[in-house]
Chains A and B, each alone.
Chain A
Amino acid sequence: MAEPPVLPDKAPEPRRRLLSAGARGSLLSILRMAAALAVPIIGFLLLWLTFNFLRDSDANRLLVAVVAIVVGVGGIWLLYWGMDLLVSTVLPARIRESVRPAVFVGPALVILAVYLIYPAINTTILAFKDAKGENWASQGGLGNFIDIFTNSETLVAIRNSLLWVVIVPAASVIIGLAFATLTDKLGRRTESTAKSMIFLPMAISLVGASIVWGFVYSFRSAGFGEQIGLLNGIWTGMGNKPVAWLLQEPWNNLYLMVILIWLQTGFAMVILSAAIKSVPEDLLEAARIDGASEWKVFTRVVLPSIASTVVVVVTTITIVVWKVFDIVFVMTGGRFNTSVVAQRMVKEFFTFRNDGVGAALAVILFIAVIPMMVVNVRKFRQQEETR
């Protein structure tokens, strides 16, 4: 910070000398100012024209894509460069360095505001309005929230979401931790094979995973063909009657949670495994010599050492769980008392066309996620500091 202010102070001196020699210096600075103004304007116009042209053209899609990338990247670069030039030449030296960061961060902030902050505020306002978003909701605007907390269906969704939030992160982390600890004892080759198999589900989308598990839980009533579901295959193989797993309230909620646990365990395992490996070996040896059993070594030395990573993993998975929609949507559509908040929200918006209640559910979700985010970011920073 000490250096930049020095440069502008020195720069004007030779310019002044040039001025005394002739008018060339002032002409030069005028030209530079003009360029500084022109470059961002040209850059912006270029981008705007290309966007319009590409939007309306019937040209080959591939060609459009290539042109868009070239002009887009080049134009953005030109825009940033031009803005920087503008700051360096037009602005007085005093405020130059305080404005410069804003030029670079500004566009990102604008995009963030337009696509994130504005919708968030808008949704919050919608939450206090009626189904069509025209008038304020009943009960002085709180009608939607009162509805949500009195309607038995939305209450079920909230209850289920709370169950998901407790069970899925806990199960994922415990199983992930177990895998991470156990694979750590394997040889290098077997360890990486075992870990990639557990991590593999992470690569599958929630919808894809739901379809896969749809087959696992698949059920046909007796007399309507052979059981193709894995679970019923095993179940009937043991001499039992086929079961419609997804109709078994309240256990069907648990069956749906298994899908997300299956997906998130790999994530938990990979992160925790890295954390476990970063615990120095001689720390474990010291504990063993101090008289600790392997279990005590794990609970008294390893676990405290990776505590902040565990918190980050738990909060990250919790956020995913609050937002889960796809699994319920694909598997049951929220029937049989399996709905969750995010899935209910989509239903309110798009099936019932009740924007007010939908927005109110979104606000509830948002409020539920905030503490997780705060903890997550704080722990992450702590981790970075200790690294």
Chain B
Amino acid sequence: MAEIVLESLGKIYPDGTRAVGDVNLTIEDGEFLVLVGPSGCGKSTVLRMVAGLEEVSEGTIHIGDVLVNDVPPKDRDIAMVFQNYALYPHMSVFDNMAFGLRLRKMDKEEIRRRVEEAAAVLEITDFLGRKPKALSGGQRQRVAMGRAIVREPKAFLMDEPLSNLDAKLRVQMRTELGRLHGRLKTTTVYVTHDQVEAMTLGHRVAVLKAVTAKRPDNLQQVAPPSELFYNPANLFVAGFIGSPAMNMVTGHLEGTGGEVFAVFGPHRLRVDAKALQRHPGLEKFMGRDLVIGIRPGDFEDHRIAGEEPERTMEVKVDVTEVLGSETFVHYMVPVAPVVTPEIEELLADTGSDPATLGDETKFSSRVSSDVAIPAGGTARLVVETAKFHFFDPETGQRIGYRPGAFSAA
């Protein structure tokens, strides 16, 4: 077991394209850290550099106290679980798990003990004599895990290990993986594009974004799951974490008689003092354009929340989706969509005009199913304005963001 320290880590491919830039990350001893981000964000490349499968172009990697930049993978004492398991097809399950130990010339009895112990934990004892071909996807996944466990390495590296499983099995294995880590307490770096996996498994989650010419660094925010949700550093993290995604709209703040109102389109909502406290420095943005972020879960129908005229949006409902206990309400707000720095860059690449995005912003709200909201009709939704998020439209950063400063309410 060991700490893994990445300092100013960067990867530039021989053809000059940059995949990773300026990643600074300390994975503590015994921590379960998840690297999450959309495809192409460099998360796998970071993991592969830690494994030693990709050369490090910039910066340093320490595992334990050892600088491993130029240490070949076989000498790094780490174990990796691959997306498609990478089991040796010509070896039995037992031999697959014992392979690494045999290469280390370990005593035969010790190998047998370790493999059987790991097999018992993973409930694959009955398959030890089988070849990988004769196993189901879930069983192969367990063998791949077993191969990593028996090594008792300094760290586990996992590259989307659950993404080849069907949905039900994935949920089951996710729980088991969490339990397994609780038992072994081995430092783990886990790569996924699935935010649910990231939020449920990670002690801390590192959100990565693809590098661009303007912003050659991937790392957006590293924080425990709930902080990512309640205290996002910027528009990217706010939009990536949470499902359905956070509603974002351009608006401004008005102050009248000690009260602050958020105005966007035809809507004017009184902002709760808590939201103001969470955004120090917000007063500088008074009257100026800013991006207002509202989670879909922070709405409720007026019949349930009670009449709160100053915090109510009256909207024309496009579509409703009833999911049993809750209902998703989709509607449009007549304000041009927020152009985030990423979207701006994307538009510049394709040579399109921001005006082509239209002049309406899609909103979705999650409300209780206890009251019926007909599609096409009008809904009056009360907004929990204490949970508002405000972002600087120029930089995409959250106004007054401080790491670690959050409360769930």
- The verdict on B78 contacting chain A, using a C-beta distance below 8 Å, is yes
- The verdict on A286 contacting chain B, using a C-beta distance below 8 Å, is yes
Known: A290-B103, A291-B103. A282 touches B74 (CB 8 A): no
- Determine whether the beta carbon of B100 is less than 8 Å from that of A283: no
- The verdict on A249 contacting chain B, using a C-beta distance below 8 Å, is no
* Best-surrounded residue of A286, A296, A304 (most CB of chain B within 10 A): A286
Contacts of B99 in A (CB 8 A): 287, 290, 292, 300
- Determine whether the beta carbon of B74 is less than 8 Å from that of A280: no
- B residues 63-80 near A (Cβ < 8 Å) are 72-76, 78-80
- The verdict on A26 contacting chain B, using a C-beta distance below 8 Å, is no
Of the residues A287, A289, A304, A307, contact of B51 by C-beta under 8 Å: A289
- Determine whether the beta carbon of A304 is less than 8 Å from that of B90: yes
- The verdict on B406 contacting chain A, using a C-beta distance below 8 Å, is no
- Determine whether the beta carbon of B82 is less than 8 Å from that of A301: no
- The verdict on A293 contacting chain B, using a C-beta distance below 8 Å, is yes
Bound Cα distance from A296 to B103, whole angstroms: 9
Minimum Cβ distance to chain B for residue A36 (Å): 51
- The verdict on B273 contacting chain A, using a C-beta distance below 8 Å, is no
Bound Cα distance from A283 to B89, whole angstroms: 9
- Determine whether the beta carbon of A289 is less than 8 Å from that of B73: yes
Of the residues B74, B82, B87, B88, contact of A291 by C-beta under 8 Å: B74
- The verdict on B53 contacting chain A, using a C-beta distance below 8 Å, is yes
- Determine whether the beta carbon of A287 is less than 8 Å from that of B78: no
- Determine whether the beta carbon of A288 is less than 8 Å from that of B74: yes
Contacts of A287 in B (CB 8 A): 88, 99
- The verdict on B151 contacting chain A, using a C-beta distance below 8 Å, is yes
- Determine whether the beta carbon of B82 is less than 8 Å from that of A286: yes
- The verdict on A337 contacting chain B, using a C-beta distance below 8 Å, is no
- The verdict on A50 contacting chain B, using a C-beta distance below 8 Å, is no
Minimum Cβ distance to chain A for residue B20 (Å): 18
- The verdict on B168 contacting chain A, using a C-beta distance below 8 Å, is no
Contacts of A289 in B (CB 8 A): 51-53, 73-74, 76, 78-80
Bound Cα distance from A305 to B90, whole angstroms: 7
Known: A290-B147, A290-B151, A293-B74. A282 touches B82 (CB 8 A): yes
Bound Cα distance from A304 to B88, whole angstroms: 10
- Determine whether the beta carbon of A286 is less than 8 Å from that of B86: yes
- The verdict on A226 contacting chain B, using a C-beta distance below 8 Å, is no
- The verdict on A285 contacting chain B, using a C-beta distance below 8 Å, is yes
Contacts of A285 in B (CB 8 A): 51, 53, 73, 80, 82, 86
- Determine whether the beta carbon of B73 is less than 8 Å from that of A288: yes
What's the dominant secondary structure at chain A's contact region?
Answer: helix
- Determine whether the beta carbon of B80 is less than 8 Å from that of A286: yes
Look across to chain A and name the residue whose beta carbon is closest to the beta carbon of B53: A285
- Determine whether the beta carbon of B84 is less than 8 Å from that of A292: no
Give B81-110 as 1s and 0s: 1 = Cβ < 8 Å from A's Cβ atoms: 011101111110000000110011000000
Of the residues A283, A288, A301, contact of B72 by C-beta under 8 Å: A288
Bound Cα distance from A56 to B182, whole angstroms: 92
Minimum Cβ distance to chain B for residue A311 (Å): 14
Bound Cα distance from A288 to B91, whole angstroms: 16
- B residues 185-203 near A (Cβ < 8 Å) are none
* Best-surrounded residue of A280, A285, A289, A300 (most CB of chain B within 10 A): A289
Contacts of B72 in A (CB 8 A): 288
Minimum Cβ distance to chain B for residue A296 (Å): 6
Contacts of B91 in A (CB 8 A): 304
Contacts of A283 in B (CB 8 A): 86, 88-89
* Best-surrounded residue of B74, B89, B147 (most CB of chain A within 10 A): B74
Minimum Cβ distance to chain B for residue A191 (Å): 16
Known: A285-B53, A287-B88. A292 touches B103 (CB 8 A): yes
Bound Cα distance from A293 to B75, whole angstroms: 10
Known: A285-B53, A305-B89. A291 touches B100 (CB 8 A): yes
Bound Cα distance from A320 to B287, whole angstroms: 88
Minimum Cβ distance to chain B for residue A281 (Å): 9
- Determine whether the beta carbon of B86 is less than 8 Å from that of A292: no
Look across to chain B and name the residue whose beta carbon is closest to the beta carbon of A187: B14
Contacts of A291 in B (CB 8 A): 74-75, 100, 103-104
Give A299-313 as 1s and 0s: 1 = Cβ < 8 Å from B's Cβ atoms: 011001101000000
Bound Cα distance from A285 to B88, whole angstroms: 11
Minimum Cβ distance to chain A for residue B317 (Å): 49
Bound Cα distance from A349 to B268, whole angstroms: 108
Contacts of B79 in A (CB 8 A): 289-290
Minimum Cβ distance to chain A for residue B55 (Å): 14
Bound Cα distance from A292 to B84, whole angstroms: 20
Look across to chain A and name the residue whose beta carbon is closest to the beta carbon of B84: A282
Minimum Cβ distance to chain B for residue A157 (Å): 40
Contacts of A304 in B (CB 8 A): 88, 90-91
Look across to chain A and name the residue whose beta carbon is closest to the beta carbon of B74: A291
Contacts of B87 in A (CB 8 A): 286
Minimum Cβ distance to chain B for residue A229 (Å): 45
Contacts of A286 in B (CB 8 A): 80, 82, 86-88, 147
Known: A285-B53, A287-B88. A292 touches B82 (CB 8 A): no
Known: A288-B73, A289-B51, A293-B74. A280 touches B104 (CB 8 A): no
Bound Cα distance from A387 to B62, whole angstroms: 42
- Determine whether the beta carbon of A292 is less than 8 Å from that of B90: no
Minimum Cβ distance to chain B for residue A190 (Å): 15
- Determine whether the beta carbon of A292 is less than 8 Å from that of B80: no
Minimum Cβ distance to chain B for residue A290 (Å): 4
- A residues 16-31 near B (Cβ < 8 Å) are none
* Best-surrounded residue of A283, A304, A307 (most CB of chain B within 10 A): A283
Look across to chain A and name the residue whose beta carbon is closest to the beta carbon of B153: A289
- B residues 356-407 near A (Cβ < 8 Å) are none
- B residues 23-56 near A (Cβ < 8 Å) are 51-53
Bound Cα distance from A296 to B75, whole angstroms: 14
Bound Cα distance from A300 to B103, whole angstroms: 10
Closest CB pairs A-B (n = 9) = A290-B100, A286-B86, A282-B86, A304-B90, A291-B103, A291-B74, A288-B73, A289-B80, A289-B73
Further pairs besides A285-B82, A291-B75: 11, Cβ < 8 Å:
A282-B82, A282-B83, A282-B86, A285-B53, A287-B99, A288-B52, A289-B52, A289-B73, A289-B80, A291-B74, A304-B91
A-B CB contact pairs (8 Å), 13 listed: A285-B51, A285-B80, A285-B86, A286-B82, A286-B87, A288-B53, A288-B73, A289-B78, A290-B103, A290-B151, A291-B74, A292-B99, A304-B88
